[in-house]
Amino acid sequence: MSAPRLVRGRGIVKGRARGPALVCQEPISFLGDVDIRTGEIVGALPSVRGRSLAGKVLVFPMSVGSAGAWRFLYQLYRHQTHPVALVCRELPDPSVVQGAILALIPIVCAPEEDVLRTVTDGAPLEVDGSGEIRVG
């Protein structure tokens, strides 16, 4: 077994979490793309539609925001159907950051490599919200 690979990025929300990667190739909106009761992705996101983000590290390009996105991310937390961490290529919108702070979900963005290509779906990830992602 090889040692985990370290990928650095910009830490946005502090905290640590571990879980399997759910790699979503499309931008995601927590307001409408996710069923808060089940964590199932119900939006038109072909790479992950019908799958649950509960307990996963969501790896995605960017959030599609609205001022109310924080409530949906927080409700996922309240229903225990939330992702354990978020890793995104672009800086997430402020409402997603606010929801992640309330739900204690670490966020790392702008990783030094294109994790949408280099992280395989289901790969074990450990996210440190100070800016580190361990793959493997």
The pLDDT, as a whole number, for residue 31 is 87
What DSSP assignment string belongs to 73-133? HHHHHHTT---SEEEESSPPPHHHHHHHHHHT--EEES-SS-HHHHSPTT-EEEEETTTEE
Provide the token pair at 23.
Answer: 């790699």
- Exposed, middle or buried, 56 (CB in 10 Å: 0-12/13-18/19+)? buried
Q: How would you write the pLDDT of the chain (136 residues) with one tens digit per residue? A: 678 899 999 999 999 999 999 999 999 998 889 999 999 999 999 999 999 999 999 999 999 877 788 999 999 999 999 999 999 999 999 999 999 999 999 999 999 999 999 999 999 999 999 999 999 9
pLDDT of residue 13: 98
User: What's the start-to-end Cα distance of the chain, in Å?
Assistant: 9
Instruction: Tell me the C-alpha distance between 110 and 5, whole Å.
Output: 16
For residue 135, give every residue at least 6 positions away whose Cβ sits within 8 Å of its Cβ, in sequence order, or none: 4, 5, 6, 7, 115, 118, 119, 123, 124, 125
The pLDDT value recorded for residue 68 is 83
What pLDDT is attached to residue 56? 98
Q: What pLDDT is attached to residue 136?
A: 92
Q: Is the dihedral of CA 38, 12, 98, 48 positive or negative?
A: negative
Residues labelled as active-site residues:
66
Which fold does the domain 5-135 belong to in CATH? Glucose Oxidase; domain 1 (3.50.30)
User: In the prediction, which pLDDT does 73 show?
Assistant: 93
Q: Can you give the pTM of this predicted structure? A: 0.95
